[in-house]
Structure 1
Amino acid sequence: MLNSSNAVEGLGWAGFDWLLLDGEHSPINLADAVSHLRALSCTPTVPIVRTAWNDHVMLKQYLDIGAQTIMIPYVQNAEEGRSAVASTRYPPEGRRGFAAMHRASRFGAIADYVHHASETIFLIVQVETISAIGEIEDIAAVPGIDAVFFGPGDLSASMGMLGRPGEPDITRKIEDAAKKVKAAGKAVGVLAPNPDLAKHYMSAGFDFVSVTTDCSLLFGHARATARMFRSGEGR
């Protein structure tokens, strides 16, 4: 979220399985995402790019810069899921616009890129409202959707508990929906609002769990350090 390629590269060597480049809630644009993808390319960490919206033109651009694991926010139903899939596939399976010379094709060095492009894309859709939870089986059944990621923040808002994403009722809703996603043969992920819930979701069989952010790591530690020394504890 800090939009720093130095931070991205450093975190890429920190031991995490994956990092989210957040184009929805941070000032990361298309050009920034290219820099961050390059920073992560030398590390063992998998980059996930979250776009700002389920937008056909935007998805085409992110695919062309080489984003392979894409997360799309606020997917509400199977129709929106099918639209996302179509945006990531070339015709006749989809509607992705064609270009031969871009970073995804190694600037033309991958001669057969078009024929194998769909095999390199991993598509994650976010389910983050109570309405979308009700559509979860249909969403998970859409061919081409590889995983569903649950967002408890917006889900808390849609359930009348804004700002309380760790409420037990929200956790139960997510776990019940996740079982249906797994039954459909798709992977399931979630954002955990605190370490205890992160461990809980991992134990419950979630395939990938968001456990912190670069902002939290930096500013949380900074505030704790400031408190320690302002209170005299560090003297």
Structure 2
Amino acid sequence: MPAPHNHLKSRLAKGEVLHGCWLGMADPYMAQIAATAGFDWLLIDGEHAPNDIRSIMAQLAVVEPSPSAAVVRLPDGDAAKIKQVLDIGAQTILVPMVESAEQARELVRATRYAPQGFRGVGSALARASRFAAIPDYLTTANEQICLIVQVETVAGMAALDDILGVEGVDGVFIGPSDLAADMGHLGQAAHHAVKTAVLGGLRRIREAGKAAGVLVTDPAYIDDCRTAGANFLGVGIDVTIFAGAMRRLAAEVATKKPTI
């Protein structure tokens, strides 16, 4: 029996446009609620959300039975962290702050067992192998790993074509917020210069045959990214959705309080 088939990897490779939502609540109950919404994918954020390896594993477990594919964003490209996240069952990972082809190649190697890479062999302990219940896990796991690298600096954008040439990188995700900051437009992800760079990068990624990812929440910006070729398209963040809904409700009832 082989490793589980990574349907998200297959769908992205076919060029399907898939929409997803960021999970930053760091809570399996909230992740399970999100998994009923109908998104193509849900990203469990280990970079800016207060997640650890156990909370990520718990969220993977509740998302797994749903139609939404789970993606894990790591805090960085450390090989030990990649190994842990793969062992707890993640098959699609997003690694932030990639700025060179050399860095991308090392990330590919960190996600693969030898001889293609140097991922540590501990599958008998791993949830990924169903605790050794998948006899062919070691020989089939590599081909089901989906690696998406995040390019979000001026240096990364300058190296984009080289990064796109790295075999084993399934997609490139452009981070508008960090790119805006690095371009001198902190807090202005929709600045004209930033948006021009983002849309141009998405076109280049799709032309190279890779999945093109981005996270934007403004409807018009989403449409522009989709038109430019984005097919791994983040359209919302659970934290801001929840906070916005709570604040709107509080403001609504506050206007209806009786006057004394």
TM-score by length of 1: 0.96
SS in 2 for 1:47: strand
Q: Which runs of 4+ in 1 moved over 4 A?
A: none
Pairing 1:180-191 to 2, within 5 Å after superposition: 180-191=204-215
Cα distance between partner residues in 1 of 2:140 and 2:33 = 31
Q: CA deviation at 1:209?
A: 1.2
Is 1:71 matched with 2:94? yes
| Identical pairs, percent | 39
Gaps of 5+ in 2: 1-23
Give the conservation status (yes or no) of the 8 Å contact 1:22–1:28: yes
SS in 2 for 1:212: strand
Is 1:178 matched with 2:202? yes
Query: Which amino acid counterpart does residue 135 of structure 2 have in structure 1?
Result: A
Q: Deviations over 1:2-46 (max 9, x none)?
A: 112111111111011111100000111111111001100111001
**Residue number among 43, 65, 71 corresponding to 1:48 in the alignment:** 71
Cα distance between partner residues in 2 of 1:210 and 1:35 = 22
CA RMSD in angstroms comes to: 1.4
Cα 1:234/1:50, change in 2 over 3 Å: farther
Cα distance between partner residues in 2 of 1:50 and 1:234 = 47
**Residue number among 47, 65, 90 corresponding to 2:113 in the alignment:** 90
**Residue number among 13, 16, 34 corresponding to 1:11 in the alignment:** 34
**Deviates most, 93-102 or 53-62:** 93-102
**Residue number among 103, 108, 125 corresponding to 2:132 in the alignment:** 108
Pairing 1:63-212 to 2, within 5 Å after superposition: 63-101=86-124, 102-212=126-236
TM-score by length of 2: 0.87
Q: CA deviation at 1:234?
A: 10
Give the conservation status (yes or no) of the 8 Å contact 2:109–2:117: yes
Give the conservation status (yes or no) of the 8 Å contact 2:25–2:238: yes
**Deviates most, 146-155 or 97-106:** 97-106
Q: Tell me which residue corresponds to 2:80.
A: 57
Q: Tell me which residue corresponds to 2:5.
A: none
Query: Which amino acid counterpart does residue 81 of structure 2 have in structure 1?
Result: M
Give the conservation status (yes or no) of the 8 Å contact 2:200–2:228: no
Q: Tell me which residue corresponds to 2:3.
A: none
Query: Which amino acid counterpart does residue 128 of structure 1 have in structure 2?
Result: E
Cα distance between partner residues in 2 of 1:73 and 1:178 = 16
Query: Which amino acid counterpart does residue 111 of structure 1 have in structure 2?
Result: P
Give the conservation status (yes or no) of the 8 Å contact 1:147–1:189: yes
Cα distance between partner residues in 2 of 1:29 and 1:145 = 25
Q: Deviations over 1:125-152 (max 9, x none)?
A: 0000111101000001100000000100
Give the conservation status (yes or no) of the 8 Å contact 2:43–2:71: yes
Give the conservation status (yes or no) of the 8 Å contact 1:129–1:158: yes
Cα 1:188/1:233, change in 2 over 3 Å: farther
Cα 1:168/1:193, change in 2 over 3 Å: farther
Query: Which amino acid counterpart does residue 53 of structure 2 have in structure 1?
Result: L
SS in 2 for 1:20: strand
SS in 1 for 2:162: helix
SS in 2 for 1:210: strand
Gaps of 5+ in 1: none
Give the conservation status (yes or no) of the 8 Å contact 2:94–2:150: yes
Cα 1:186/1:117, change in 2 over 3 Å: same
SS in 1 for 2:242: helix
SS in 2 for 1:182: helix
